Amino acid sequence: MKPADYKIYLASKSPRRRELLRQIGVEFELLLLRDAAPRGPEVNEDVHPGEKAEDYVVRVTRAKAEFAAKMMMMRRLPIRPVMAADTTVVIDGRILGKPADQADAMDMLRALSGRTHQVLTSVALHRDEDNWQTLQTSEVRFAPISEDMIRAYCATSEPYDKAGGYGIQGLASVFIAHIAGSYTGIMGLPLHETASLLNQAGIPVLGPVR
Report the catalytic residues. Answer: 86
Cβ 97 vs Cβ 45: under 8 Å: yes
Q: Which amino acid is at 110?
A: R
SS3 content of the chain, % helix, strand, coil (to 5): 40, 25, 40
Q: Which amino acid is at 207?
A: G
Q: Using CA atoms, how far apart are residues 109 and 104, in angstroms rounded to an integer? A: 9
Q: Using CA atoms, how far apart are residues 15 and 9, in angstroms rounded to an integer? A: 14
